[in-house]
Every structure is written in structure tokens, then in C-alpha cells.
Structure 1
Amino acid sequence: MRPAPRATMRDVAALAGVSVKTVSRVVNQEPSVSPDVAQRVRTAVATLGYRHHLGASTLRRTEQRTGTVAALLQDLSNAYSASVLRAIEVAAHERDIAVVASSLDEDPARERQIVEGLVRRRVDGLVLMPATASQAYLQPDLDAGLVTVCVDRHPQGISVDSVAVDGARGGALATTHLLDHGHRRVAFLGDDLRIETAAARYAGYERALAAREVALEPGLVVTGLRSAADAARAVHGLLDSTDPPTAIFAARNAVAEGAVRTLRERGVAHATALVGFDDFALADVLDPPLTVVRQDVDAIGAEVVSRLFARLDGDTSPPRAVDIDLELVRRGSGEIRPPH
């Protein structure tokens, strides 16, 4: 089924009972329109889901492609986001499609602002690692033909393709590995639990402890860690406690980096077990090498690209939620046993 056409400036003018020129003045924020008329136009814009095309003030809207896709990821400086972007770029280059990329930094307002700007520029497709709790605001654009694929997180409020991993399974895999090596005081270091991925990894941690009948100790759980520096401070605090953990599950690569640095500074890198979530460059040459739960970023990127371009090529099958498998990579840090 062909997507419904986007609302035009002429549609807005008809609903608001004004001229197209008046609509143009309002959407371009010109001051020469009375407040009541401007409000009528804004109401019509919201009702119709109209998006102003920056280059369309004097041009008739066409349904031609722009040859541009956007990748909105959480942090392009992060190894995971950078690898996903690279996979998109390689596939897009083969099709002579330009890629626009931006970091969202877990900021819902930033996500909506950037998406609105991209839609106004008529990007053909969107790869989104959502920061918003619901992406229902995208529905008018989806109805008008905007192809969207969510990565790393599942869509909420809309029905689109998604590519992710089972974070709860990954969290349980890491925690169980530490428990299998004799640890009973396993700390959890993670991001804000309002974030889907962080909450899933924490749920896996809880599940693994419960399965082994190990009591969850709130003092060993530190969340809201956004950077390696945050993680370093958290590890210092845990090590300075009266009963420090013998093992740590660092549920994000930046958190693992901060933990590695602090354990080394404190001289306990070979005495405190550590498992990270997500791999990163040189993790295998650390001392000790870092054990990680690794996502297959190449497979994730390839699947995102496959779904995105299949939709752009006309695939109208029901949306799919694709889960990519995880792998525990044993290197040494996660195999350290607790002191007797």
C-alpha cells in the first residue's frame, strides 16, 4: 500500500481558512500575521501533521527521493555507535546515498528537534537509537512514507523494524560467569535505569543472583553512570567501603574503561574480577585482558542496513524485531577468583 501523501501548505491553508502566503509567513516565523490567525495556522499544522520543507516555499512538493538517510545514535564517539554508523555508511556509499549522522546524548528533546529538522529536509530513511520514551511523534511522518529502523532499543508507540540484542540475557551471562568463579559479592555498575538497555542488563544481573540464591545488596549497585570518570568515582567508593566487592559487572563499555583504570590505580586489577558489556579497542591487551559480553556489531549494522534499504526498495511486510546473539569472550579479568 502506498503511503499517504504528506500534508501540503495548501492543505493547511484550506483547513485554517487563510491563504497559502499566510501559512508561509507563519511557518517561516514572519511577524506580519495577527496572533489569532497565526494560532489558527499552527492548529491546522498540528492537526494535519504538516512539516515545512525548507526548500519548498516556492516549489511544488514532489515525491522524489533526496538520496539521503540519517543515523541518530546516542554517542558517535562511543565504539558501538561508531561501528553501527560505519556499517550504514559503507552500504549507503554503494548505493550513492548520503548519510547524515548525529549524537543524541540520551536527550529526548534533542532527538525530537533533530528529527524534525531532518524531516523538513526530506530524508528518505532514518536509523534511530531512541532517547525518547515513546516515538509516537513520528507517526505522521511514517504515514507519509518516512522509513525508520530502530537500533539497540525497541520502538515504543510506533510499529517499525528494530535490531537489538537481549540485554537481560547479556547481563545474566556476565553475572553468572562471575558467580561460577566463586564470587558472591558482585557489584553492578550501569547507566540510568530509565534507559531500556541499562534496565535490561540490570534485570539480567538480578535474575542471575536470584537463580543462585545470592542476596542482592543495594550497596553494590551503582547506576546513572554516563562516563568513564563517573565509573572511576563509583569504583573508588566501592573499594573504600567496609566490605568491598570481589567482582564487578560493568554494564557499558565506557563504564568498563573507568573500572579498569581505577582497579589498576588501586593495585587490585589482578585481585578483583571484572566483566564488561561491549568490546572496545585494546581491551584484549590490557593487564589482565578484559572479559566482555560482546555484541556482534558487524551483524547488527548489516541487519540495520538490510532492513532500511529493503523498506526503501518497497518492502511492505510487517515490521520485524530482529535479535542478534551475544557472546561471552573470556580473556582473564572475569576469571579471577575471590580471595579465600
Structure 2
Amino acid sequence: MPLPRVSDRRPLAVTSGDPAGIGPDLVLGLPRSQPGAPLVVLGDLDVLQARAEQLRLEVRLRAWQPGDRASGEALSVWHCPAGANVIAGQPDPATARGTLTLLDRAIDGCLDGTFAGMVTAPLSKAVICEGADASFTGHTEYLAQRSGIERVVMMLATPALRVALATTHLPLREVADAINADDLSATLRILHKDLRERFSVPHPRIMVLGLNPHAGESGHLGREELDVIIPVLDALRAEGMQLSGPLPADTAFTPKHLAQQDAVLAMYHDQGLPVLKYSGFGEAINITLGLPFVRTSVDHGTAFDLAGSGRASHRSLQAATRWAMTLAGQ
């Protein structure tokens, strides 16, 4: 089926991430991988041009402003100055505010209808914290705050596996205190709703992991399962949700269990994501559920050591862009 004309569709915003990382390398490949797609890259035009020359890429860059049409023949770029001289592979806190400006413009554009959704290339939390906002913990939390949303859910997905998180970027010693009935219930409701409405899963089946080894071993290895997780699951099952668990994380990711599930809810970041990334690193995407707009991202970091080398894989950004277009109905 041919794509609709670019003029018929609102563009997706694609933020270029940390200017010293591989984000600029990746977005410069979009015209080749997504020909004719209505995309607007948010980044520093000079940085993108310099990176294209460094990589010996023949890419036409076209300055874009709100109200313009996204070009199908050139890479439309909404110029956002980086704030400092950029050298590929050398992170600089002086660029932090410029990187946040990319996000702010993309968020505002999604909220006011300029953009159909957004795709984010990787940024460095350390650079942002050092140069702009010491409280910054990641894209997911920042998007929720700027959008006025109390709770969102981070989910990574491959063609074969979806893993959502009950908590995201927290120190491990804080995770247990963050598992409470209200937040866990809200997370499961968001996951269930978006699986139905955005992923067209009519009756979502969600497998919930326990927090403790052996899912607490009946309280002998921790009481979070007995005191919080099981009561929440029982209450939501009574409303009609199909929930299994809490299951021990060390045996949950097996074909027997996964074949019966549409998504897995892990209690913390490094409980669920190592398995997903092992099974599909470089092809997985990060999706923020619960926002009033579509947001997808790559499954990897800034890879400063690869910036400007031509060796960075484009697969995750390409997948994130395709998924954003599908979820936004573009």
C-alpha cells in the first residue's frame, strides 16, 4: 500500500539526543531508511551538517519551522542550537540545556497538535544532571512531568516480547519502598489500557513478577508479595483483568510462561530489561505508556565511543520510528 502524501500527515518529531553521541549519526540515516516519511528532526543544523561530512553521508538538510510541511526529499530539521562547540565522542555539560530544549519543543509540539508523536534518540543523564538539571532521571520521568501526567509506564518491546516496569530509574535500595498498592495498581491499569487501545490486544494477558527471590517464598524471603503485590492482583482480577503471578523472575522468562502472555510487568529496571535486551538488543524499542501522545525511543545509550565512526547500528531508531508511525496512525 503506498504511503499517503507527506502533506496529508502531521510529522513525527525526532529528537537527535546528545549532540556528541550517536544520535546525530542515527537521525542522518532516516531519509534512507524511511523514504517519504513525514519526519522532523530536532537538532543543531551545524552539528548535523558537520556529522554528515564526518561520516561522508550525502544528506540534504532543510531548515524547518512550525507551519512548514515536512519534506519528503530532504531531512527537515528544526534548528535547536547545541549551546557549545560539539566534538563527536566528547560529551560536554554545556550542551545540556540545548538537549533539553529538543525535548521541550517536541513535547509542546505533540501537545498542541503540531506533531503526531515523538521519537527520541539517546541522551546522557550525567550530562543533563551536570549541565542543566541535577534532578533529571531520564526521558520517561521528564516527559511525564512536562506533560502534566502523574504516572506513566516504561515498556520495552521486541517483536516477540514486551516488558513493562513498575519502577524505572531508581537506586536499587529504594525499589522496595516504591512498590506500593496505589502505584502498582495504576501501573497495571495503564499497561492494560494501552495494550488494548494502542496495540490492539483485546484481552491482555499480563504476567507479573515478584520483587524478591522465589517471589518471596511465602514471606520467608520478603513480604512485598504478600502485603502488596498479591492483594493488588486479586483486586484487579476481580475487575476482569487477566493477570498471572507474582512469579519468580528467574523462571518467568521461559517459553512455557511467555507463550501465555502479552506482556510482562517487572518490578524494577534490571529485573526485566536484561532478558529483553539479550533477546533483541538493537532491535528493541522503548515506549512510554500513559502519555497523551505517542513516544518511542531506542533501546540503547549514547555510545560516545561510536559517535562519528560510522559503526553505530541504526536498527533500533528505525524500529522506533516505524512503531511511532504505526501507533500514531501515520
Name the TM-score, length of structure 1 as normaliser.
0.26
TM-score after normalising by structure 2: 0.27
Which of the pair has more CA radius of gyration?
1
